[in-house]
Amino acid sequence: MSLVSRRQPEAVTLAATSPIGVFDSGLGGLTVLSAVHERLPNENLIYFGDTARVPYGSKSKETIIHYSLEILEFLLQQKVKAVVVACNTASSHALEALREKSPVPVIGVVEPGVAALARHYPEVKRAAVIATRSTVKSNAYAKLVQQHLGDVHLYQKACPLFVPLVEEGFAERQVTELIIREYLDEIVRDGYSHVILGCTHYPLLKKSIKRIYPQLTLIDSSSEVAHALQELLRQHQLLNNAPTKGEVKLYVSDITDSLLDLEKIFFGKTIHSLEKKVLGW
């Protein structure tokens, strides 16, 4: 299962000290950034959150590709050595276009989640993915599972209320427990034991889900992306072995009233700089 660009355009020199670019339609991808920062603390990280144009889930595929390529161009201007698409919608619709245009490796969030499920194969024949409506509609997870794990039955479940609950800081409130049961009772009742968290918001619900359903094995795409990125950099001899911790820079296309609250919810660590950067307007 390839996690990198199909081609490497000529005349591009990658350096181990160069930063890693991470982007999402908003700030949910900060859970991926956090996982990368935890696994690779010496790496310099640049995050772009397209907060002015969020959500991508209501946009057409063509628009999502257009926005994603704009962000890629910005990150390449920052001399990044790899790009992480920390957005399930962009990973589902724009990954191939990004890989065609990028001179550096590009990793999405869908493939690492399926790769993690593959590690439980062939013991697991039935699995589920919970995600937003847009990701479920794209069939990105189902297509990849069918391609690599043909006899695994994947049940896809849209859980649209999870995103606003997380963003309101309600991850461990009683109301969230009720919604979790509403969405996941049928998955447990029907005997699915492995569940991929197919949205960057959902790792913040892991604690609550495991408390209600301790029998479930939850596959966190955020930590899986960090693992895949580490292996990719190691293969290309691009790991930053500097003795000091790397810097984390945050760019957003709009600074909203809730930005600092969401930054704390999704990242919970020090952001060294925050800057507004408008693209394509």
Catalytic residue selected from 199, 209, 219, 262: 199
- On whether the CB atoms of residues 74 and 50 are closer than 8 A, the answer is no
Of 188-192, 248-252, 267-271, the least confident = 267-271
Mean pLDDT for 19-46 is 95
The predicted structure's pLDDT at residue 143: 94
In the chain, how many H helices and how many E strands?
11, 10
Of 78-82, 181-185, 207-211, 255-259, the least confident = 255-259
State the DSSP H helix or E strand holding residue 83, giving kind and residue range, or none if neither.
Answer: strand 82-85
The predicted structure's pLDDT at residue 271: 83
199 annotated active-site? yes
More confident residue, 55 or 36: 36
Residue 249 scores a pLDDT above 90:
yes
More confident residue, 163 or 12: 163
Catalytic residue selected from 46, 83, 87, 226: 87
159 annotated active-site? no
Q: How far apart, in whole angstroms, are the C-alpha atoms of residue 279 and residue 144? A: 31
Domains of the chain with bracketed CATH: 20-108+224-276 (3.40.50.1860), 111-221 (3.40.50.1860)
Task: List for the chain the helix, strand, coil content (%; round to 5).
Answer: 45, 15, 40
